[in-house]
Chain A
Amino acid sequence: MLSWFKHKNYPFFWVEYLKKFKTSQPNTIENTRFVVFDTETTGLETSTDRLLSIGAISIFNNVIDVSDSFEVYLKQDEFKSETVEIHGILKDGNLLKLSEAEALEQFINYLGNAVLVAHHTAFDIEMINVALKRLNFPNLKNKSIDTGMLYKKLDGKKDTHFSLDILCNEFNIPKHDRHTSSGDAFITAIAFLKIVSKLKQERSVHYSDLFRTSNKKGLI
């Protein structure tokens, strides 16, 4: 009852967002729109730190589409000077910045029902969900894939933690714009294509395999 009541009061963009999950969802890698994204934040504490930027790019039918990309910078009162040297976003820089509400609305519109892909997805999704909560929205409804987990499914890669830098080295991906959200999203997208391609070489890969987190669950 309560959820129905809430539902009624959601702004138009969120209603549209929910609608996109009502129809049947694609079930092959080729038919799925993946949105590879990354966030830059004031720190690593999801409850207190804030989003500074979101960058994303889509993949459809194994092709990264630059025209379907997303890049936004957020106005935040919360600011930590010590992390500036990582992400390079100044409190009052020249970049056009949006409020958190505007930025999230645009991101939700861009995202739609795509499958989210990120390197260590849990953190980035949690940052978005916490921000949504501040604005009284529920969590994201999208399925998600972690390239870090996916990488572990390759032969002989189990049981280690892989940073994006390790992936870049392994796959010869140039580290341009590392630690900008768009740059990292682009790098992650290339890594995603390469991992999926390598997985396909090792065995037949079904759509559902991408979401499993361990080798032991059916992927033999």
Chain B
Amino acid sequence: MKNTIAERIFDFLKNFPPFDVLEKEQLFQIASQVKVTYIEKGNFIFKQEENPHLHFYIVKDGAIGLYRTMGNDQILVDICDEGDVFGLRPLIQNDHYLMSAKANEESILYAVSVDLLKEIIKINNKVQKFIIASFSSNIKTPYAKTNNGQLFANVETLETIDSNFSEVRTAEFSKNPITCSKNATIKEAAQIMSSKKVGSILIAENKIPLGIITDKDLRLKIATGLVSINENISKIMSSPVITFPKEITIAEAQIAMIKYKVTHLCITANGKPTSELVGILSEHDIVVLHGNNPSVLIKEIKRAKDTEKLKYIKEKASNLLKGYIEQSIPIIFISKIISEINDAITIKALDLSLEEMETQPPVKFGWLALGSQGRKEQLLTTDQDNALVFEDVSKENYKTTKDYFLLLAKKVTNKLHIIGFEYCPADMMASNPNWCLSLTEWKAQFNNWITKPSEDSIMLCTIFFDYNLIYGDKKLTSEMANSIFNSIHTYEIFLNFLGRNALLNPPPLGFFRQFLVEHDGEHKDQFDLKSRALMPLIDAARLLTLSLDIKDKNNTIARFSKLVKMEPQNADLYLSCIDAFKILLRYRTKQGIKHHDSGRYIELDKLNKSEKLKLKGCFKPIKDIQELLNVRYNLSQMM
């Protein structure tokens, strides 16, 4: 019998993974059993922790936001639009939902029975690979088509999946952690640890965690004789402890441990330090779950004795990145981890170089990463951009001090070069006498750029404003920041110049919504992802945060997130900029990995239709944010 409706649903589904790899009969069977639902804007399809439905969902029209609740925060993890699949992983794994799905606009969803899909998975190898890849992130995978399945080459059945995509699974923590009272002596605590055979003990009062001691504390502070074993436990405990709610994922735990430089996280009832202790998550717990992990890499970096070893670790980090991208791990996690690794490598290169110097540094100094590394958005290794600031010294000592730091910088940049960070072709490096300056010189330099804005100085501003202190004295950089903001306040027209610069990046779409490609040169007919799509967002975020006096936010996503809070009237636009930026960064990283280059240029005819659509979807916020800049900074008059 003819079934017009099922045929129409078939025609829709066949364009999107995993349905695109199904046999015709298999897909028709699915299409003829679809259930169609309509969701009003703001309504939930399912909520975090809820038990799985019998169906998973494909967005037919509209947009569904996936949110993770951590404590009181609702974090938008991803947006699914036409053709995206969501809510599949919990059904296959018989697990509850790890995220909530809410309609960001009114939406029509096709619900597909998971039992039907399970039948098909058994006989269709390609579908199986898609499912495994999409689980790694529990989010949509519009990129699954290019997944070669290599990461999962030895995965034969669904039963063995678990170990492969652990990052966004809720971390398994130890419940009922061993505790002692705050009145205990160190000796008593050590005795409890020995009898319970644990490497750490929490100090708690009324189940509220106060502090922690670990084997390491006993080794460093007691065995060395620094503190007596009869002293009160509070003498050596680390306090306060870092706390998280029990929904914490492995990726989040890894990042927290790197960020706070701790090996244990306390799990409390609502994630706050003031709520009841429910468990403890140690680095060891994670390593057991996850072999090749970033914190292990960071440890290796810290232990490295020469650049060769660092080079080797850097390559391992590239593989990690590749794996993350293939598994569609959220880009925000990836960029955090990779930039932590890059920073650790830079710090180690500095340590090694300082050892080679004949004397200690004459004064305090700071090593700054600039541009994309400064913004922590450098996923692919491009070239190094860095600078050095040192404390002011007397006139007679200036030359020897500067020479010292120039020599140090030369050693560091050389090491970074060997490790795999190419020299900057524009010589924007700390080894360049122009970018190795005292604090006063830097202040003067910034003031000069701000008050005498030329095309060159604006360009330099966009690079140097995005600095991030990697190594050294924080006071130097905060003084520098204050001076920059002062200069901007006294010369506000500078922001308009910066705005004009932000609009110089050409918009990505032509009048007829076609992609604008390069007209000549080496990259003729390719799409310049960096200058047409990423830079407009980066520039806009920088300009808006500068004009609102927001300090210490050097990362584009962090800048937009802050803007969302400061200007709720524009929250939707800023949120869509964040989404667009995430998608574009992922695209660029994928392209770069594929072609072993910076991923800057895209060959449009190599993209399939849904990739093009996805990319175009990112351009709307770019256009909107450029319009906002135009109005706010009155730029049409300046152009």
Enumerate chain A residues within 8 angstroms of B31, measured Cβ to Cβ. 66
A220 within 8 A of B: no
**Mask: chain A, 37-80; 1 = CB below 8 Å from B; 0 = not:** 00000000000000000010100001111110101110000000
Contact B35 A63 (CB under 8 A): yes
Contact A186 B38 (CB under 8 A): no
**Mask: chain A, 187-200; 1 = CB below 8 Å from B; 0 = not:** 00110011001000
Count chain B CB atoms within 10 A of each CB in A66, A72, A189 and give the residue with the most: A66
A217 within 8 A of B: no
The answer to whether residues A64 and B4 also contact, given A190-B108, A197-B40, A201-B40 and a CB cut-off of 8 A, is: no
Q: Give A148 to B305 CA distance when docked, in angstroms.
A: 78
Which segment of B5-13, B67-75, B555-563, B588-596 sits at the interface? B5-13
Enumerate chain A residues within 8 angstroms of B1, measured Cβ to Cβ. 71-72, 96
Q: Give A10 to B121 CA distance when docked, in angstroms.
A: 49
B111 within 8 A of A: yes
Contact B32 A62 (CB under 8 A): no
Count chain A CB atoms within 10 A of each CB in B3, B5, B106, B111 and give the residue with the most: B5
A147 within 8 A of B: no
| Chain A residues numbered 152-207 whose CB sits less than 8 Å from any CB in chain B | 172, 174, 176-177, 180, 182-183, 185-186, 189-190, 193-194, 197, 201
Q: Give A65 to B34 CA distance when docked, in angstroms.
A: 7
Minimum Cβ distance to chain B for residue A14 (Å)? 22
Minimum Cβ distance to chain B for residue A30 (Å)? 13
Enumerate chain B residues within 8 angstroms of A63, measured Cβ to Cβ. 35-37, 111
Contact A197 B38 (CB under 8 A): yes
Contact B8 A67 (CB under 8 A): no
Among A64, A67, A96, A174, contact of B2 (Cβ-Cβ < 8 Å): A96
Contact B38 A71 (CB under 8 A): no
A95 within 8 A of B: yes
Contact B4 A71 (CB under 8 A): yes
Contact A67 B32 (CB under 8 A): yes
B252 within 8 A of A: no
Contact B35 A64 (CB under 8 A): yes
Residue on A with the closest CB to B11? A176
Enumerate chain A residues within 8 angstroms of B40, measured Cβ to Cβ. 197, 201
B478 within 8 A of A: no
| Chain B residues numbered 301-320 whose CB sits less than 8 Å from any CB in chain A | none
Contact A190 B8 (CB under 8 A): no
Enumerate chain A residues within 8 angstroms of B3, measured Cβ to Cβ. 69, 71, 182
| Chain B residues numbered 18-65 whose CB sits less than 8 Å from any CB in chain A | 31-38, 40, 61
Minimum Cβ distance to chain B for residue A26 (Å)? 19
Q: Give A182 to B9 CA distance when docked, in angstroms.
A: 13
The interface residues of chain B, by DSSP majority, are classed as mixed
| Chain B residues numbered 105-134 whose CB sits less than 8 Å from any CB in chain A | 106, 108, 111
Contact A176 B8 (CB under 8 A): yes
Enumerate chain B residues within 8 angstroms of A180, measured Cβ to Cβ. 4
Contact B37 A64 (CB under 8 A): yes
Contact B5 A182 (CB under 8 A): yes
**Mask: chain A, 101-118; 1 = CB below 8 Å from B; 0 = not:** 000000000000000000
Count chain A CB atoms within 10 A of each CB in B2, B3, B4, B8 and give the residue with the most: B4
Contact A67 B33 (CB under 8 A): yes
Q: Give A73 to B4 CA distance when docked, in angstroms.
A: 12
The answer to whether residues A66 and B35 also contact, given A55-B4, A172-B61, A183-B5 and a CB cut-off of 8 A, is: yes
Residue on A with the closest CB to B9? A66
Residue on A with the closest CB to B1? A71
Count chain B CB atoms within 10 A of each CB in A64, A65, A186, A201 and give the residue with the most: A64
Count chain A CB atoms within 10 A of each CB in B8, B61, B111 and give the residue with the most: B8
Contact B111 A177 (CB under 8 A): no
Q: Give A176 to B5 CA distance when docked, in angstroms.
A: 10
Contact A62 B38 (CB under 8 A): yes
Q: Give A201 to B43 CA distance when docked, in angstroms.
A: 12
Contact A71 B2 (CB under 8 A): yes
Q: Give A193 to B35 CA distance when docked, in angstroms.
A: 13
Enumerate chain B residues within 8 angstroms of A62, measured Cβ to Cβ. 37-38
The answer to whether residues A182 and B35 also contact, given A63-B111, A172-B61, A190-B108 and a CB cut-off of 8 A, is: no
Enumerate chain A residues within 8 angstroms of B4, measured Cβ to Cβ. 55, 71, 177, 180, 182-183, 186
Enumerate chain B residues within 8 angstroms of A66, measured Cβ to Cβ. 5-6, 9, 31-36
Count chain B CB atoms within 10 A of each CB in A72, A185, A193 and give the residue with the most: A193
Q: Give A186 to B106 CA distance when docked, in angstroms.
A: 18
Count chain A CB atoms within 10 A of each CB in B3, B38, B108 and give the residue with the most: B38
Contact B37 A186 (CB under 8 A): no
Residue on A with the closest CB to B111? A63
Q: Give A65 to B33 CA distance when docked, in angstroms.
A: 7
| Chain B residues numbered 439-466 whose CB sits less than 8 Å from any CB in chain A | none
Minimum Cβ distance to chain A for residue B32 (Å)? 6
Enumerate chain A residues within 8 angstroms of B32, measured Cβ to Cβ. 66-67
Q: Give A67 to B3 CA distance when docked, in angstroms.
A: 10
Residue on A with the closest CB to B31? A66
Minimum Cβ distance to chain B for residue A76 (Å)? 17
Q: Give A182 to B1 CA distance when docked, in angstroms.
A: 13
Minimum Cβ distance to chain B for residue A200 (Å)? 8
Enumerate chain B residues within 8 angstroms of A67, measured Cβ to Cβ. 32-35
Minimum Cβ distance to chain A for residue B45 (Å)? 12
Q: Give A185 to B61 CA distance when docked, in angstroms.
A: 18
Contact A65 B35 (CB under 8 A): yes
Enumerate chain B residues within 8 angstroms of A189, measured Cβ to Cβ. 36
Enumerate chain A residues within 8 angstroms of B61, measured Cβ to Cβ. 172, 174
Q: Give A95 to B2 CA distance when docked, in angstroms.
A: 8
Q: Give A215 to B3 CA distance when docked, in angstroms.
A: 37
Residue on A with the closest CB to B34? A66
Enumerate chain B residues within 8 angstroms of A69, measured Cβ to Cβ. 3, 5-6
Enumerate chain B residues within 8 angstroms of A64, measured Cβ to Cβ. 35-37
Enumerate chain A residues within 8 angstroms of B106, measured Cβ to Cβ. 194
**Mask: chain B, 153-190; 1 = CB below 8 Å from A; 0 = not:** 00000000000000000000000000000000000000
Q: Give A190 to B34 CA distance when docked, in angstroms.
A: 14
Q: Give A172 to B106 CA distance when docked, in angstroms.
A: 10
Enumerate chain B residues within 8 angstroms of A197, measured Cβ to Cβ. 38, 40
Residue on B with the closest CB to A69? B5
Residue on B with the closest CB to A192? B38
Enumerate chain B residues within 8 angstroms of A174, measured Cβ to Cβ. 61
Q: Give A198 to B1 CA distance when docked, in angstroms.
A: 35
Q: Give A182 to B61 CA distance when docked, in angstroms.
A: 20
Minimum Cβ distance to chain B for residue A85 (Å)? 18
Residue on A with the closest CB to B113? A67
Enumerate chain B residues within 8 angstroms of A177, measured Cβ to Cβ. 4, 8
Enumerate chain A residues within 8 angstroms of B34, measured Cβ to Cβ. 66-67
Enumerate chain A residues within 8 angstroms of B35, measured Cβ to Cβ. 63-67
Enumerate chain B residues within 8 angstroms of A96, measured Cβ to Cβ. 1-2
Q: Give A84 to B1 CA distance when docked, in angstroms.
A: 21
Contact B5 A57 (CB under 8 A): yes
Residue on A with the closest CB to B37? A63
Enumerate chain A residues within 8 angstroms of B36, measured Cβ to Cβ. 63-66, 189-190
Contact B38 A190 (CB under 8 A): yes
Q: Give A96 to B4 CA distance when docked, in angstroms.
A: 13
CB pairs A–B below 8 angstroms (8 shown): A63-B111, A66-B34, A67-B34, A71-B2, A71-B5, A182-B5, A197-B40, A201-B40
What are the nearest 5 A-B pairs in CB distance? A64-B36, A182-B4, A193-B38, A67-B33, A66-B34
Known: A66-B31, A183-B4, A190-B36. 4 other contacts (CB 8 A): A55-B5, A66-B5, A73-B2, A186-B8
